[in-house]
Structure 1
Amino acid sequence: MVKPFNILVVGPSWVGDMVMAQSLFIVLKHQYPDCKIDVLAPTWSLKLLQRMPQVHSAIAMPLGHGQFDLLGRIRIGRGLRSHQYDQAFVLPNSWKSALIPFFAGIPKRTGYIGEMRWGLLNDARKLDKSRLTMTVQRFVALANQELARYPFPKLEISSEQQQAVTAQFAVNNDTKILALCPGAEYGPAKRWPIEHFAAVARHMHRQGWQVWLLGSDKDKPVAEQINVLSEQVCRNFAGSTNLAEAVDLMSLADVVVSNDSGLMHVAAALDKKLIALYGSSDPGFTPPLHKDAEIITLGLDCSPCFKRECPLGHTHCLTDIAPERVIAAIPR
């Protein structure tokens, strides 16, 4: 019996990047149809990876983001030796992220040079940012894929998973559902104003739509403020679900309005009608990977600045996106 080509991917630490990494998984399965792809990833992402059919196994990374722990990385690497991986793809650019594949004795270790990782990576690539302008391109290029042709991520949610989350949260889809994603982990310069989200919620509720608020525990205060301003017309799930439950709930939505965030990339990968709002970030660098996604950005002279907070103190790149423009983009 021929041994399958075993691949370990050291996954990224952000929701959006993990979704975009699926494009690499799709390419690898195309190149090596019988390969097994395991992903070493943060615990929060394991159930997200389970919704990517290309992934054979999701392995929890016990060390937190930014945690070094050299001895811990040596133990993890040695513990993976029994998997007999043939190649590793290291997606983060940090020096420490390349340690585990090295200590796992994986013969071919692929990634960008990043923090001078010569030796740890023996298939080290120099990143040409002028040529690889998008995050998804940088991931896919590690598999030597033609940059003009990269597949879009596509999460798969079963009817059983939808039925389970419907029963768990006692929701119905008898009427159209608008999902609002008001969070953005990076900072306030990526967040559309709560007053604008509330205006959209009130308008769509009057049109007979359900309005759901989705987000993490960190987004809960913002979501609560939106619900107050919208006169409590929203169903607020922010902070009441884990990521997998939020993904499964979003799979029931008809339209998603989102800041540039991890959930924006999830919506694109779920093939949803998506309206994506960009302020301080660049839609050319991390766009939603969906051919019909509608990107709204004002292209001001001061943006994209890539700052967590507006250096000019006004955030006009977001405040000047009127709710009426977003409402007009929602199909009836």
Structure 2
Amino acid sequence: MRPILVFCLPAIGDFIRCHSAIRIIAERFPGQQIDIVTSRIAAPLARLMPHVRKVWIAEKHWKPGLKERAGLAREIRKENYQAAYMLTSSTKACLVPWLAGIPERIGYPREFQFGVVNRLPAGWLKSMVAFGPRKTRLAEQVCAIARLGKRPAEDAPLPAPQLVVSAEALAAWRRRNGIDPARPVIALYTSDFANKRSWPIERFVSIARDYVARGWSVWLIGGPRERQAAAEIKAQLPDAVDFTATPDIAEAMCQIAASTVFLGVDGGLSHAAGALGGPCVLIYGSNRAYVHGPVNEQVIFLEPPISTPDWVENTRAVSEDRVREALAAAVRKHAPQFA
């Protein structure tokens, strides 16, 4: 059987959502090899995804140019792919399977891609002109492409993205970092406090102090965007462990997988926490969780009521008490030994 190529979205959260479509394709074609194309920043996550054999790198935005895309197409041509699923709307990305001679190129004809995309999912026009949440819910769009527009039987839920850190890799990470597996951990993902998606610093600190008083470790998770926020929290809570200088995203996956419960805001690492399967509480405000949040069932979403003034931009309406209750419920259900 000839392999299948899936062009995934480049941003971390969007890329993780693409795994729902990969799961559908793997179920439709059992035993068939699946390769993916994505950005360099998202590529390390692919090795944690079931069903993915190989990753091709295509940088985001306008770089590289057409010359580099043509070079990628020449390399891809050697693999003799049967079909390409275009989960991205990028015209430059769609040119790659066309130049590579992949006979079946499946997707929505966005950005004037008629002819480049040569197999359209059923109901594609209705989907493209739809209004409301279903126009923007990315997880549904990528799954519809993978299903060729066919609805699942009895309106089955979307398959949830999965990331798997092996027990061996997790144990090795704990040994390298001197982590005691018996001590419970709350992982905090704050984003940048200047970002309207975040939650007030004093509330993160208050929650963290509660857990430190109970003997838990507090880990600050993220990358360059979260480093200033982590420094501000650590200045008030010296016991917190700052992991925001982590060199790569694969390390961050070990940090999240090793934690007992994850508390975060809207962002790529929150999608990763959901896909890793651990207990997860997410605070949403500027984006609504139904449209933009993970679809993993163990995730608890906390949002301001729609009646709250400025609810679209304001996470402050999510109280500390609601967060404490949600965290306690998540721990009772998924890690009762630490409740």
Question: Is the pair's TM-score, using the shorter chain for normalization, greater than 0.5?
Answer: yes
The answer (yes or no) to whether the contact 2:22–2:146 under 8 Å persists in 1 is no
Q: Deviation at 1:287?
A: 2.3
* Deviation readout 1:237-262 (Å, 9 max, x if unpaired): 01224111111121111110010111
| Matches of 1:157 and 1:119, distance apart in 2 | 40
CA distance in 2: counterparts of 1:269 and 1:292, whole angstroms = 10
Matches of 2:270 and 2:108, distance apart in 1: 26
Is 1:120 the counterpart of 2:116 in the alignment?
A: yes
Other-structure match for 1:180: 188
C-alpha distance in structure 1 between counterparts of 2:86 and 2:162, whole Å: 21
Q: How does 1:34-53 map to 2 (within 5 A)?
A: 34-53=31-50
Question: What is the Cα-based RMSD across aligned positions, in Å?
Answer: 2.0
> Is it true that 1:160 corresponds to 2:157 in the alignment?
no
User: Which residue number corresponds to residue 16 of structure 2?
Assistant: 19
Q: Tell me how far apart the structure 1 counterparts of residues 116 and 32 of structure 2 sit (CA, whole Å).
A: 23
1:84 aligns with 80
Deviations 1:1-42 (A, max 9, x none): xxx241111111111111111111111111000211111111
Cα distance in 2, alignment partners of residues 133 and 70 from structure 1: 29
Pairs within 5 Å for 1:203-218: 203-218=210-225
**5+ long unaligned stretches in structure 1:** 306-314
% identical equivalent positions: 26
Measured in 1, the distance between the counterparts of 2:102 and 2:258 equals 41
Q: Deviations over 1:108-162 (max 9, x none)?
A: 1112222111122112443344455521111111122535332111211111110
Q: Determine whether 1:193 maps to 2:196.
A: no
User: 25, 28, 31: which is aligned to 1:28?
Assistant: 25
Q: 1:244-323 residue pairs with structure 2 within 5 A?
A: 244-300=250-306, 305=312, 315=313, 317-323=314-320
Please give the secondary structure, in 2, of the residue aligned with 1:256.
Answer: strand
Please give the alpha-carbon distance, in whole angstroms, between the structure 1 residues aligned to 2:64 and 2:45: 25
Equivalent in the alignment of 1:138: 141
- Partner residue in 2 for 1:328: 325
Amino acid at match of 1:259: V
Q: 2-side partners of 1:323 and 1:299: how far apart?
A: 15
Q: Distance in 2 between matches of 1:146 and 1:17?
A: 22
Residue 206 (structure 1) shift: 0.7
| Residue of structure 1 equivalent to 2:93 | 97
- Kindly state the Cα deviation for residue 325 of structure 1 after the two structures are TM-superposed: 2.0
Separation in structure 2 between the aligned mates of residue 207 and residue 66 of structure 1, nearest angstrom: 50
> C-alpha distance in 1, partners of 2:274/2:325?
19
- Partner in structure 1 of residue 333 of structure 2: none
Letter in 1 for 2:178: A
SS of the counterpart of 2:171? helix
Q: SS at the partner of 2:210?
A: helix
Residues 217, 240 of structure 1: 8 Å contact kept? no
CA contact (8 A) 1:279 1:303 kept: no
Any conservation in 2 of the 1:5–1:34 contact (CA below 8 Å)? no
TM score, norm. by length of structure 1: 0.89
Given that 1:219 and 1:239 are in contact with CA atoms closer than 8 Å, whether structure 2 keeps it comes out as no
CA distance in 1, matches of 2:310, 2:55: 37
Shift of 1:88: 0.7
- After TM superposition, the structure 1 = structure 2 runs for residues 219-230 of structure 1, keeping only pairs within 5 Å, are 219-229=226-236
Q: How many residues align?
A: 316
SS of corresponding position for 2:41: helix
Give the Cα separation in 2 of the matches to 1:66 and 1:224: 34
8 Å CA contact 1:201, 1:233 repeated in 2: no
